[in-house]
Amino acid sequence: MKKLLITLTVLATLLFGVEIMVKGSDTMLNLTQRLAESFSAVQPDVTVSVTGGGSGVGINALINQEVPLANASRAIKSKEISQARANGVNPVEIVIALDGLSVIVNGKNPVNQLTVEQIGAIYRGEITNWNQVGGPNKKIVLYGRQPNSGTFVFFREEVVKGEYSANMRQMNGNAQIVEGVKADEGGIGYVGLGYIKHIEGIKPLAVARKPQEKFISPADEAAVKSGAYPLTRPLYQYTNGKPKGAVREFILFELSEKGQEIIAQEGFVPVTQNYIERNNQILQ
Amino acid sequence: MSKKAIITLVAVAATITLALEPGETELEHNGWFRYTNSATDWQITKPAVSRFTLERGYLRFSHQWAPIFFTKMTVDIFSSDKYPEGATIRLKEAYADLGLPFIKEFNLTAGLQKHYFGLIYSWDYTHPDKSLADDQGVCASADYGLTVNGFLPAGLGELQLGIYNGEGYKYAGKYLNTSPEFLANLRLTPLAGLMVGASVFTNARDQAHYKNDRKGRDNTNTYFLNADTTNINRLAFAPMAKLSFGPVSILGEYIGYNYIRSYTYYQLNRDSANNIVDSTLVEKNKKYQFSGLDLLPVITLPGRKVEIYGRFSLWNRSEQSGDTMAFNKDKSFVRYGAGFNYHFIRREKGKPGLEFQFAWLRTQTKNEETKPADIFMAQIRFEWNSVIKKPEL
């Protein structure tokens, strides 16, 4: 059945148009799928197939020339650039959106804000009860991602600043973290902005870099845009060389007014002027 | 050792100790089930070798103690008629790997690990046969040692610096000497599609005792009494390059290698009645020089299911004879061939893979009186892995 479907897809693509394969970040999965659907509506001869697996998996697929476009919620590593070049692949970086990585807790948890240092201590396993950070006497249950996830790497480098506690439950994707925290009054997790919108039973925490600084919610778009929100990060796409043909058209659509509108609708933040200029230089 | 270095070491050790918690464990198996047919000059119906074997059976165990610290052990269980059981086991890797806290994407690796020399290091067996330097024993593919290895910033390439036993992974205990091997390997990737680099190692003394030891009487007047046959002043150099353009790539290296074989024996002195009266200890040195070229062009067909490749190798060996270096045409050769791989499931990190490989290689020694030898290899190569999640404490 699967073979038949693949054969039919290949035949359909051969007969009717072009297919673009996109692979990588789970944080960007729903967002890119939505962008792909809207793009296909304006470019019906182009099919965009989007799969997840994690940023590392997407970049690896680009290195092996399996996909023309990789989604990543972290920047490509030196090792990956070197491996790509050795394989004849020249990774080119585009920033399509900004994300305010959101730290979420169960909706019944009275804790509303934490500092980056407190969140780090929680994920290192040094703070284990909510009463140590002004909450109820309840054991903290950690939800996080797997090592192939760009979000796992970003959060480790920017917040944990050490090793994750062995007690952290490693979930397959953002949606699983949301479900876990929703069902667990002691739970804490981290997900992309797009995964907290319109979901009841969880709440994002306001975060401050230091105790004396202002606590900012990831829902504050202006703060994410300006970088005032401590866990702001760019969301990347990588191509082999300067984007061409249908891939370029798709990226141009993502960066267009319509595309950026979809990005905002999906809960993420449109790119800022400095990224627009950087993207334009690549896409010219 | 300076105070600063000691403090740094203690700080690193303390950080690791604090961070240590049980993490993920990975179990992996990589097997090569091979049919080999070896014949002279196309006479495959009268082969010298026709056999099915499990050529490799790597079992790998690794444990991630912390994101910057993991340990790994690999054993190779493969077909062998050295033992009545029909198989043998060989320790291939056993090391601890620590991400260096102050240098991004660099690790310190201690134990039995990869030997970062030329194509031996990066040979991924797209071709089922070994790389030329591995095949000709320039050095072993793994050895016990301590290395600093990692990637240069901005994707510029990779660098490895190492100190090894020098005798290779098959030697341990009494066959090792006190003279370590020093190695440096640099790969640069300045542009997409171009990798250039070079490896060099030097070893003042390779005991190689087990390989070269000769005991007993060689002829009536020579007695090798536990002859101290060692290779001294070993030096190998291997510049390499890889060019990739779309589905086409070519990987190649030049190999330069030389050493001096040092050996001692007793010359037996006899009287007129042919009785041994005494003996004289004789020490001799003999220089060896090798040079080689190994090329592997590969075309990957669309869909990445099929790879078609060629192979071209040159190997020249010269040995000291009196004051000159004599070319050994029986042990120098030209080798060429072709083959293909079909990937049922393409290997990808963390996922199983299954492929069929077929290769033909023809070796013609530089002695034109000998006929060329052909070898055909057909093998199924399979790989699977399983991750055991860390226990919830």
Q: What is the pLDDT of residues B274-285, one digit of tens each?
A: 888 888 888 888
Sheet with A202-204, strands from edge to edge, namely A169-171, A141-145, A187-191, A102-106, A202-204
pLDDT category, A13, cuts 50, 70, 90? Answer: low
Contact B374, B5 (CB under 8 A): no
Of all helices (H) and strands (E), which one includes residue A19? strand A18-24
**Domains of chain A (ranges, CATH numbers):** 16-98+234-283 (3.40.190.10), 102-226 (3.40.190.10)
Cα B319 to Cα A267: distance, rounded to the nearest angstrom: 73
When comparing pLDDT for B218 and A283, which is higher?
A: A283
Set of chain B residues whose Cβ sits within 8 Å of the Cβ of A240: 192
Contact A89, A240 (CB under 8 A): yes
Cα A53 to Cα A148: distance, rounded to the nearest angstrom: 8
Q: Is the pLDDT of residue B330 over 80?
A: yes
A45 to A7, A48, A66, B97: CA distances (angstroms): 18, 10, 21, 50
Which residue type, as a one-letter code, is found at position B260? I
Distance to chain A for B246, nearest Cα, Å: 6
Q: What is the mean pLDDT of chain A?
A: 91
Site from A80, A83, A87, A128 to mutate, B interface, most B CB atoms within 10 angstroms: A87
Which CATH number fits the domain that encloses residue B303? 2.40.160.10
Written as one string, the DSSP assignment of A83-144 is: HHHHTT--EEEEEEEEEE-EEEEETT----EEEHHHHHHHHHTS--BGGGGTS-S-B-EEEE
Of all helices (H) and strands (E), which one includes residue B226? none
B291 to chain A, any CB pair closer than 8 A? The answer is no
Q: How many CB atoms lie within 10 A of CB A265?
A: 12
**Residue range of the domain that includes B304:** 22-388
With tokens 């299911």, the residue in question is: B305
Closest C-alpha among A32, A1, A16 to residue A251: A32
* Segment 324-353 of chain B within 8 Å of chain A by CB: 348-350
Cα A192 to Cα A219: distance, rounded to the nearest angstrom: 11
Count H helices, E strands: chain B? Answer: 4, 19
The answer to whether residue B12 is domain-embedded is no
Query: Largest alpha-carbon pair distance within chain A?
Result: 63
Q: Is the pLDDT of residue B19 over 60?
A: no
Set of chain B residues whose Cβ sits within 8 Å of the Cβ of A165: 21
Query: What is the pLDDT averaged over residues B303-317?
Result: 96
Give me the pLDDT at residue B186, please: 98
Q: Is the pLDDT of residue A12 over 60?
A: no
Beta partners for residue B308, in sequence order: B299, B340
Tokens of B304: 């990445």
Among A26-30, A207-211, A278-282, B310-314, which range has the highest average pLDDT? B310-314
- Total structural domains in chain B? 1
Cα B209 to Cα A81: distance, rounded to the nearest angstrom: 43
Query: Largest alpha-carbon pair distance within chain B?
Result: 85
What pTM did the predictor assign?
0.84
What is the rounded radius of gyration, in angstroms, for the C-alpha atoms of chain B?
Answer: 24
Taking only the tens place, the pLDDT of each residue in B79-137 is 988 888 889 999 999 999 999 988 889 999 999 999 999 999 999 999 999 999 999 99
Give me the pLDDT at residue A119, please: 97
Q: What is the 3-state secondary structure (H, E, C) of A50-64?
A: EEEECHHHHHHHHHC
Query: What is the pLDDT averaged over residues B345-363?
Result: 88
Give me the pLDDT at residue A148, please: 80
Q: Is the pLDDT of residue B62 over 80?
A: yes
Taking only the tens place, the pLDDT of each residue in A187-198 is 999 999 988 877
Cα B254 to Cα B273: distance, rounded to the nearest angstrom: 56
Give me the pLDDT at residue B27, please: 93
Which DSSP letter does residue B351 get?
B
The answer to whether residue B5 is domain-embedded is no
Which DSSP letter does residue A156 get?
I
A89 to chain B, any CB pair closer than 8 A? The answer is yes
Give me the pLDDT at residue B171, please: 85
Residues, chain B, total? 393
Cα A187 to Cα A185: distance, rounded to the nearest angstrom: 6
Closest C-alpha among A131, A102, A104 to residue A188: A104
Taking only the tens place, the pLDDT of each residue in B169-212 is 988 877 788 889 999 999 999 999 999 999 999 999 886 654 55
Strands B157-164 and B181-191: antiparallel
The answer to whether residue B140 is domain-embedded is yes
With tokens 């970003």, the residue in question is: A154
Strands A18-24 and B353-365: unpaired
Distance to chain B for A219, nearest Cα, Å: 31
For CA atoms B235, B168, B298, A89, give the dihedral sign: negative
Q: Please measure the distance between the N-terminal and C-terminal CA atoms of chain B and give it in whole angstroms.
A: 40
Contact B294, B132 (CB under 8 A): yes
The answer to whether residue B11 is domain-embedded is no
The answer to whether residue B4 is domain-embedded is no
Query: What is the pLDDT averaged over residues A92-119?
Result: 96
Strands B194-206 and B181-191: antiparallel
Set of chain A residues whose Cβ sits within 8 Å of the Cβ of B246: 88
Set of chain A residues whose Cβ sits within 8 Å of the Cβ of B23: 166
The answer to whether residue B10 is domain-embedded is no
SS3 content of chain A, % helix, strand, coil (to 5): 40, 25, 35
A51 to chain B, any CB pair closer than 8 A? The answer is no
Q: Is the pLDDT of residue B63 over 80?
A: yes
Least confident of A244-248, B19-23, B260-264: B19-23
Closest C-alpha among B200, B197, B168, B166 to residue B183: B200
